[in-house]
Amino acid sequence: MPGLATAANSHPSALLGTLRQTPGAIYLLVLLFVGLGLTSPHFLTTHNLVNIALQAAVVTIIALGMTLVILTEGIDLSLGPVLGLCGVVAALLMVRGIPLPAALLAAVAVAIVFGALNGVLVAYMELPPFIVTLGTFGMATSLAMALTEGNSITGLPIEIRWFNEGIILGIPVPIWATVLLFLVTLLLLHRTRFGRYVYAIGGNRRAVMLSGVPFRLYHAGVYVYAAVLAALASFVMTARTNAAHPTIGVGFEFDAIAAVILGGTSFAGGRGGLVGTVGGALAVATLRNGLNLLSIPTEWQVAAVGIVIILAVAFDSWRGLDA
Task: Supply the pLDDT for residue 93.
Answer: 96
State the chain's mean pLDDT as an integer.
Answer: 87
Q: How confident is the model at residue 153 (pLDDT cuts 50, 70, 90)?
A: very high
Task: Supply the pLDDT for residue 32.
Answer: 86
C-alpha distances (whole Å) from 256 to each of 29, 134, 174, 207, 240 are: 16, 15, 17, 29, 19
- Per-residue pLDDT tens over the stretch 125-135: 999 999 999 99
Q: How many domains does the chain have?
A: 1
Other beta carbons within 10 Å of 168? 9
Q: Torsion angle of alpha carbons 56, 274, 186, 172, nearest 10°? A: -10
Q: How confident is the model at residue 206 (pLDDT cuts 50, 70, 90)?
A: confident
Q: Is the dihedral angle over the CA atoms 241, 243, 248, 252 positive or is it negative?
A: positive
- Per-residue pLDDT tens over the stretch 223-232: 999 999 999 9
Examine residue 279 and state whether it is found in any structural domain, yes or no.
yes
Kindly state the average pLDDT of the residues 134-152: 95
Examine residue 62 and state whether it is found in any structural domain, yes or no.
yes
Examine residue 271 and state whether it is found in any structural domain, yes or no.
yes
Task: Supply the pLDDT for residue 88.
Answer: 96
Q: How confident is the model at residue 319 (pLDDT cuts 50, 70, 90)?
A: low
Question: Which DSSP string do the residues of 23-43 spell out, in sequence order?
Answer: -HHHHHHHHHHHHHHHH-TTT
Nearest CA among 289, 293, 281, 296 for reference residue 50: 289
Examine residue 78 and state whether it is found in any structural domain, yes or no.
yes
Examine residue 237 and state whether it is found in any structural domain, yes or no.
yes
More confident residue, 215 or 321: 215
Residue 16 has pLDDT above 60, yes or no: no
Residue 323 has pLDDT above 70, yes or no: no
Task: Supply the pLDDT for residue 268.
Answer: 74
Task: Supply the pLDDT for residue 270.
Answer: 66
- Per-residue pLDDT tens over the stretch 21-78: 677 778 888 888 998 888 888 888 988 999 999 989 999 999 999 999 999 999 999 9
Domain span at residue 72 reads 24-317
Kindly state the average pLDDT of the residues 115-140: 96
Q: What percent of the chain has pLDDT over 90?
A: 58
Task: Supply the pLDDT for residue 11.
Answer: 61
- CATH number of the CATH domain containing 177: 1.10.3470
Kindly state the average pLDDT of the residues 245-251: 92
Examine residue 113 and state whether it is found in any structural domain, yes or no.
yes
Q: How many alpha carbons lie under 13 Å from residue 135 in its C-beta half-sphere?
A: 12
Examine residue 281 and state whether it is found in any structural domain, yes or no.
yes
Length of the chain: 323
Q: How confident is the model at residue 8 (pLDDT cuts 50, 70, 90)?
A: very low
Cβ contact 201:220 at 8 Å: no
**Crossing angle for the helix pair 100-119 and 215-241, nearest 10 degrees?**
140
- Per-residue pLDDT tens over the stretch 268-316: 766 788 999 999 999 989 988 888 888 888 778 778 878 877 776 677 6
Task: Supply the pLDDT for residue 187.
Answer: 96
Q: Tell me, what amino acid is at 290?
A: G
Cross-strand bridge partners of residue 202: none
Examine residue 2 and state whether it is found in any structural domain, yes or no.
no
Question: Which DSSP string do the residues of 197-234 spell out, in sequence order?
Answer: HHHHHHH-HHHHHHHTS-HHHHHHHHHHHHHHHHHHHH
Residue 215 has pLDDT above 60, yes or no: yes
Other beta carbons within 10 Å of 210? 9
CB neighbours of 38 closer than 8 A, spacing ≥ 6? none
Cα–Cα distance for residue pair 265/313, rounded to 1 Å: 10
Task: Supply the pLDDT for residue 182.
Answer: 97
Alpha helices by DSSP H, 120-159: 129-148
